[in-house]
Amino acid sequence: MAKRQIPVIVLAGFLGSGKTTLLNHLLGRSGGSRIGAIVNDFGSIEIDAMNVAGQVDSMVSLGNGCLCCAVDTSELDGFLDRLARPAARIDVIVVEASGLAEPQEIIRMILASENKAIVYGGLVEVIDAAEFSGTRARHPELDRHVAIADLVVLNKTDRIGDEARESLTATLAELAPGTPVVTASYGRVDPDLLFDRKPKEERNEAIRQLSFEDLCTGDEDDDHHGHLHAAYESVEFISDDPMHPRRLMEFLDSRPEGLYRIKGFVHFGVAGHRNKYAVHAVGDFLRFYPSAWARSEKRATQLVMIGSGIDARALWDRLDACRDTALSTEGEDAGHSMWGVLRYAQS
């Protein structure tokens, strides 16, 4: 089996956009997953769920196993290594960028890391709906930050009206064509949009410590929380037929607007390449991880696609057209047909 890598998500946005509030929300709704949080800011941060405010300048162990540290970008590699070590048992790492940071520099460091235990999990750009226009006028570099985002969270939408929200959404669509935009209030986005939470049977409920999730869960949360899943759609695709490598790569190279994540595994059935290929895609980032099928495991493709504003039926139909029902890849062109996949494969 291919060793699972830890996704590293970059959380960016201008000062006051609500990054820390969103991070606290993720910590409180982790579903038993262990989150390593790296805060790239030497200013004060507040962890609302624990009612702790102040400077975090060292490694701190929190109630649900989360690790939080404030660092300079030059220290990022070291902290990623520490969080990714097996003993930490971290499931996802969130890097909260400084409100004045250049997120592409943090992304570059993650992509350049030689640590095989981590994988880039995408850039989430948080926007203050009420202040964005004025902030953008003073800091035009925000246009560039939005343009490279894999997901835009339009936060604090409770502070603006419908007309202003529609206008702002249109502006974001111009700045980042095809990038999904999820609206939120109080930084409340569904964690399932960003990372895979542990199934209940894996959480060891009987012996685990009291967590942020326990402290935050209550009926009062429902008044503000709303139905987070309404902000995005999840599309499942299953095929017993092998997938045609070239057709699938054509699909992946031209992913439709609003599609944010793709996860699962693919059965190609190509001679010499009969492994199971786990797939991890966030925005434009793509990796395949080949591994042997378990002896009793059924050879099939199972994919989950997550996005905002996507056409679920059209998405399913496009993948359906990637089936290789005629086994056309079994001929002499079989090896060449996998070249596109192998470009993104990591052993």
Q: What is the DSSP letter of 211?
A: -
What is the pLDDT, as a whole number, of residue 47? Answer: 35
> Cα(83)–Cα(78) distance, rounded to whole angstroms?
9
Calculate mean pLDDT across residues 32-55: 50
> Cα(115)–Cα(102) distance, rounded to whole angstroms?
22
Between residues 121 and 51, the one the model is more confident about: 121
What is the pLDDT, as a whole number, of residue 60? Answer: 36
What is the pLDDT, as a whole number, of residue 227? Answer: 41
User: Is the pLDDT confidence value at 31 over 90?
Assistant: no
> Cα(146)–Cα(179) distance, rounded to whole angstroms?
9
User: Is the pLDDT confidence value at 202 over 60?
Assistant: no
Cβ contact 214:208 at 8 Å: no
Greatest Cα pair distance, the chain, in angstroms, is 65
> Cα(299)–Cα(245) distance, rounded to whole angstroms?
15
- For residue 11, what are the CA distances in angstroms to 17, 28, 145, 194, 270? 11, 16, 11, 11, 39
Q: Sorting pLDDT into bands at 50, 70 and 90, what band is 156?
A: very high
Calculate mean pLDDT across residues 60-82: 61
Calculate mean pLDDT across residues 104-114: 90
Calculate mean pLDDT across residues 295-308: 91
In the chain, % of residues over pLDDT 90? 44
Interacting residues of 309 by C-beta distance below 8 A, sequence separation 6+: 180, 181, 257, 258
Query: Any bridge partners for residue 124, and if so which?
Result: 11, 151
Between residues 1 and 102, the one the model is more confident about: 102
User: Residue type for 2, please?
Assistant: A
What is the pLDDT, as a whole number, of residue 224? Answer: 37
User: Residue type for 291, please?
Assistant: S
Query: Any bridge partners for residue 52, and if so which?
Result: 47
Calculate mean pLDDT across residues 78-90: 86
User: Is the pLDDT confidence value at 3 over 70?
Assistant: no
User: Is the pLDDT confidence value at 151 over 50?
Assistant: yes
**β-strand pairing of 118-128 with 259-267:** unpaired
Q: What is the DSSP letter of 3?
A: P
The three-class DSSP label of residue 201 is: helix
The three-class DSSP label of residue 69 is: strand
Between residues 199 and 274, the one the model is more confident about: 274
In the chain, % of residues over pLDDT 70? 76
Q: Sorting pLDDT into bands at 50, 70 and 90, what band is 4?
A: confident
Calculate mean pLDDT across residues 162-168: 94
Both tokens of 91, joined, read 């499931």
Both tokens of 98, joined, read 């400084």
Calculate mean pLDDT across residues 132-144: 92
Both tokens of 320, joined, read 């359906």
- For residue 46, what are the CA distances in angstroms to 126, 247, 323? 17, 48, 50
Q: 0.75 cut: is pTM over it?
A: yes
Calculate mean pLDDT across residues 15-41: 82
User: Is the pLDDT confidence value at 42 over 60?
Assistant: no
What is the pLDDT, as a whole number, of residue 16? Answer: 86
Q: Sorting pLDDT into bands at 50, 70 and 90, what band is 212?
A: very low
